[in-house]
Structures are given as structure tokens and as C-alpha cells.
A and B are shown apart, each in its own frame.
Chain A
Amino acid sequence: MTNPEENIVLTEAVFYTLLALHNPLHGYGIMQETKRMTDGRLVLSAGTLYGAISSMLEKGWIKALPEEEESRRKEYVITETGRQVARAELNRLHELVENGIKVIN
């Protein structure tokens, strides 16, 4: 399992996937939720999302929920490690924005 204290920089796709998975969702649901959160700006492609999900499963940031019999769609949800990683990324982004405002504005 990854130590969330390390300086990890997340891609936008991974960050938004972690946000979306604060509630259980399947792949298509993650795409829709991300599109909704960004007002259509960020549309996750299937290949990118699959890679992100595979990587996050390996790192223990998300977990797959048991498949329901009627539905063949696999659902995922964020883990406690994933929440810590998302929080660390949020703090990093805060710092980035504050420094940007100081210098550019």
C-alpha cells in the first residue's frame, strides 16, 4: 500500500475519479459524474479511466465492490488510503493556487 505522506502529484483524471468514488460507481458512472462536476470540460475516455482504475486498485486507493448477480457492471469505491491521498492532493492544489494568485495577480 502506498504511503499517502509521500509527495504524490495526481493527474486530473485520477483526482476526479477519487472524488467521484466517494460514492460507489461503475466505470460509466465515473465518466458521467466527472463530466457533471466539471460542467462538461473533463470527459474521461475509457482507456484513460481503465488505466487509472487499475493503477488505483493496485495502490489500494479504491476497491472493487462484490458484483451483483443482475448487473455485470463492476462498481468501485474509495478506500481510507484513497481519501488521504485525495486530501493531500487538495492541500497541494490549495498551495499551488495561493502561490499563483500571489505572483500572477
Chain B
Amino acid sequence: MANEGWMLIHTGFRKYVFEKGTPGTYTYRLELLEKDTHSPESKSYLDFLKETGIDVVGECVNWVYLRCKTADCKFDPGNRPLYKLTHLLKIQAFFNTIRLIFMIAIALCITGIFVLEHPKPTPVIDFFKGFCVGISLASSVLMIMLAPYFNRVNRKVKAAIKDLYTCN
């Protein structure tokens, strides 16, 4: 869209605001930070980027939308092995966190189902049992659906590590 003259100027939750400008004025990147944008480490990094002419135009949890003037762009070239590996490791860590959350949810819900077996059945207990079954089923299904993406990221990390042996 930047190449067509639509410049992203702001993002919110499921909202993107563009303004019309000269095509190719800005180059945009979406970056995954290791911590959320309000952490001291992320603030230090984003302040550094600002010093070098890279602006933050939007953020969502750990994701930031960055832009800089195309003529003087200081983004990491996406094809460099070290940049690729750094980026993939962040995505891998992000997926591992999601997987851990799902596994904890499944474990808690299964525990809940067993614990709730003991008291006399009441509508409330039945509701919570059904809730636990639903959450653990949903988490399991999501984990199975996301498994190919987890594996793809792991394969790309291995390939990027291999690339690093030959050039940086």
C-alpha cells in the first residue's frame, strides 16, 4: 500500500488509519519485540530507533509498526542471515509462549474436571465441568491447528542457523 501512496499513520485494535501521499515515500516494517512496548527494554530500543529516523506508527502488545523515509531507510535488510535468525527466534519464543498457555489451560481444565467429579452434581458444577471440557478441547484443537506453523518456524530457525556459518 505504501508503494501505491497509502501511508499508514496510526493503528489501533483491528483498526488501521492511512493517509494519501506520494508513492514510495516511506518504507514500513512490522517487528515483533521480545517484550511488550511499554517495558523499559522496548522503550530503550524504540527510542534508539527514533534517534536514527525510524518512527513508530502503531503498536499492539509486542508488535510494532515502524516506518522510515525510503530514501534514507535504516531497516535491517530482510535477507541477511543474522537479521532473519533474530526475527525467527522472536517468533519462535512467541509461539512457545502461546503453546505454554494452551498446555496450562488444558492441564488446569482436566484437573478441574476431575475435581468437579466428586461433589454432588448441580447446575453450577455441571456448567463449570462443561466449561473445562470446552476450554481443553478448544485449546487442544488450536494447538493441533497451529502445530504446522510451529514446525515451520522451527525448520526456518534451523536453516537460518546453518546460514550463519557461512556469512553474517
Contact = CB atoms under 8 A, between A and B. Distances in A.
A36 B67 CA distance: 24
A45 B49 contact: no
Given A47-B83, A50-B49, A74-B48, 5 more contacts: A27-B48, A27-B51, A28-B51, A45-B83, A51-B86
Contact of B48 (A11, A44, A46): A46
B76 A45 contact: yes
Interface of B: 31, 45, 47-49, 51-54, 74-77, 82-83, 86, 168
A11 B168 contact: yes
Interface residues on A, range: 10 to 19
A49 B49 CA distance: 10
A48 B76 contact: yes
A46 B82 contact: no
Contact of B51 (A44, A48, A73): A73
B140 to A, nearest CB: 37
